[in-house]
Amino acid sequence: MDSVTNRIHDFKSNASIIVKSFNSEYKKTPLRIKVIDAFIVYALLTAAIQFLYMLCVGTFPFNSFLSGFFCSLGFFVLSVSLRMQVDPSSTEFKGLLPERAYADFVFCGCLLFLVVWNFMG
Amino acid sequence: MFPVLLLLLSTAFTCQASSQKVLVLLDDFKTRSTHSLYFNDLISRGYEISFKSASDKKLQLKDWDEWLYDKIVLFAPTATGLGANSDHTTLLEFIDAGKDVLVAVDSSASELMRSLAADIGFDLDARGASVTDHVDYVKFAMADHTLIASEEFMQSSAILGNFTDSAPILFKGAAATMSPESTLGISILGAPETAFSHLPGKPVTDNPLVANGYASLVAAIQARSGARIVLAGSVDMFSNAYFTTAGFETASGKRFDKAGNRAFCDEVTKWAFHERGVLRVTNVHHSHAGEQEQPDWYRVSDDLEFGLDIFELVGGVWQPFKADDVQVEFVMLDPYIRTKLQHNEQGHFYTAFKVPDVYGVYKFVINYHRAGYTPLELAKTVSVRPFRHNEFERFLVAAYPYYMSVFSTMAAFFVFGFAFLYHK
């Protein structure tokens, strides 16, 4: 019994250490990136809610479900791409201007919404 | 319009008894007087009768591709040839042309008669074999065990009309069997349980052709050409002697006031000569539910109505057909819908159903085959199309959450622009 409680205790302390270190590290993230993260979480949540709703009421109307679901997912993917491109800690897109990255994001977003609107019916 | 395939037997429209020509082929002209009652019954129903000898070398059934007769009565069991021919091919051509033949043979039937019987799907028992009943033969002056009385007639108003007479039918002759796989053959008169078919006077050493249930005394077939052919195993059953038999007793002690031969033979002939059991379809119609116009196509899940009129020939008059077992199928390779048709006692058969949710080219199919009736085979093509792009329902309440998510995501996209551009 002792070993089990010890293990649980260890796990709890480890988890709290991870959360604490994440929090402290995340505080160093620039505000702009934090804003992007907020929208990413929002996009994921709407996608998850729509999926649950689909499970409850069934797949009809399927085209509406697909367009709503993929709209959220697409927004999520585009936001993640933008985050990767404007993150100052990343070296991958060193030469890329944040304005250029944002312009790409807007263009792709418009394309996404155009498709979604046509399919939503 | 899509092509309409209406397979109706042409004979269904040409079956007025009036002034139809009947050829009676005999092997012995005495038959003309010994069977005069039967022939008079034919004449009184409006037939024009000509008597010919089956061996008449000048016998002609066809003149320049035109048949000279509408029906043939073949009372020539011993004939070895038909006219100048030694075989029966002209007779088979006659049948293939949709014309009716009534054949009566007896136990001495010739090879010609046997091969004719075989070609129409019946197998006559060996030459000389007679239907014999040692238990229940008919007692006349002479004790003849091959004269029997059968009550095993088929219960079919299509064939025998209102022949509900329980008088048995006197019979003396040969029995025929038909293949159990035969789909067109009908046994109109069976043999009594105690009867069997064998050479009279010879001891029975092998299994005789068991009469009951297997052999028929009077058999019939409705060919796919529309022709009706009746094969009676006895010429005598059509004779005046049997028609007028006043009363008789069977060996088992049953007494009967009369024989049913006259009524039975007349009814069988009426059926064989298309005076009865003929069905006609008119006014095949389908439409959207509640409408009159017949469209070329339907949309999946449409409600439609289907109807047709069926008439039956009764005594020369078309009367409404009454049956509860007529079905219509809605077929695209497989029947997607098979349903019974209701009728209004006036001959109008109808039903309503929903088009299945599968698009393609369908057929309304009526396939009505009943013993004694002309078959109804009818197919009508109609196409079923899917929904058009603007026929789907829109702005469904169930889809509101999805619409909301799209709007909120777009709003988020818009707000995101400000949040991103004004934060360093």
Does a structural domain hold residue A111?
A: yes
Tokens representing residue B111 in the block:
């090879």
Q: Is A39 exposed, middle or buried (0-12, 13-18, 19+ CB in 10 A)?
A: buried
Q: Between chains, do B405 and A106 touch, taking CB under 8 Å as contact? A: no
Confirm or reject contact between A81 and chain B (CB < 8 A).
no
Q: Between chains, do B396 and A75 touch, taking CB under 8 Å as contact? A: no
- On the CB side of B125, how many CA atoms lie within 13 Å of its CA? 28
Per-residue model confidence (pLDDT) at position B335: 94
Does a structural domain hold residue A14?
A: no
Nearest by CB: B423 against A31, A42, A61:
A31
Q: What average pLDDT does the segment B298-314 reach?
A: 93
The complex's ipTM? Answer: 0.87
pLDDT bracket for residue A44 (50, 70, 90): very high
Q: Between chains, do A64 and B416 touch, taking CB under 8 Å as contact? A: no
- Name the closest residue on chain B to residue A76, using Cα atoms: B409
Confirm or reject contact between A114 and chain B (CB < 8 A).
no
Please answer whether residues B272 and B220 qualify as being in contact, where contact means their C-beta atoms are separated by less than 8 angstroms: yes
Q: Between chains, do A35 and B423 touch, taking CB under 8 Å as contact? A: yes
Q: What average pLDDT does the segment A55-73 reach?
A: 92
Q: Between chains, do B420 and A32 touch, taking CB under 8 Å as contact? A: yes
Domain count, chain A: 1
Does a structural domain hold residue A85?
A: yes
The string of pLDDT tens digits covering residues B48-85 is 999 999 888 888 888 888 999 999 999 999 988 888 78
Does a structural domain hold residue A65?
A: yes
Per-residue model confidence (pLDDT) at position B126: 85
Nearest by CB: A113 against B394, B401, B410:
B410
Nearest by CB: A46 against B403, B408, B424:
B408
Confirm or reject contact between A106 and chain B (CB < 8 A).
yes
Residues of B in Cβ contact (< 8 Å) with A60: 398
Q: What average pLDDT does the segment A78-90 reach?
A: 90
Please answer whether residues B264 and B217 qualify as being in contact, where contact means their C-beta atoms are separated by less than 8 angstroms: no
Nearest by CB: B405 against A46, A106, A113:
A46
Residues whose CB falls within 8 Å of the CB of residue B136, separated by 6 or more in sequence, listed in order: B148, B149, B192, B194, B195, B250, B251, B252, B254
What's the whole-model pTM score?
0.73
Is residue B3's pLDDT more than 50? no
Confirm or reject contact between A107 and chain B (CB < 8 A).
no
Confirm or reject contact between A76 and chain B (CB < 8 A).
no
Per-residue model confidence (pLDDT) at position B379: 94
Distance CA B361, CA B298 (A): 10
Rounded to a whole number of angstroms, the distance from the CA of B410 to the nearest CA of chain A is: 8
Does a structural domain hold residue A15?
A: no
Per-residue model confidence (pLDDT) at position B254: 83
Distance CA B262, CA B418 (A): 107
Question: What value does the mean pLDDT of chain B take?
Answer: 87
Q: What is the largest CA-CA distance in chain A?
A: 62
Confirm or reject contact between B422 and chain A (CB < 8 A).
no
- Name the closest residue on chain B to residue A111, using Cα atoms: B410
Nearest to B178 by CA among B129, B235, B226, B230: B230
Q: Between chains, do A61 and B405 touch, taking CB under 8 Å as contact? A: no
Q: Between chains, do A42 and B402 touch, taking CB under 8 Å as contact? A: no
Does a structural domain hold residue A6?
A: no
Residues whose CB falls within 8 Å of the CB of residue B45, separated by 6 or more in sequence, listed in order: B17, B270, B275
The domain in which residue A94 lies consists of 30-120
Q: Is A120 exposed, middle or buried (0-12, 13-18, 19+ CB in 10 A)?
A: buried
- Name the closest residue on chain A to residue B407, using Cα atoms: A68
Is residue B399's pLDDT more than 80? yes
Residues of B in Cβ contact (< 8 Å) with A43: 409, 412
Does a structural domain hold residue A24?
A: no
Per-residue model confidence (pLDDT) at position B14: 43
Does a structural domain hold residue A12?
A: no
The string of pLDDT tens digits covering residues B5-37 is 333 433 344 444 458 999 999 988 999 999 999
- A39 residue type, one letter: F
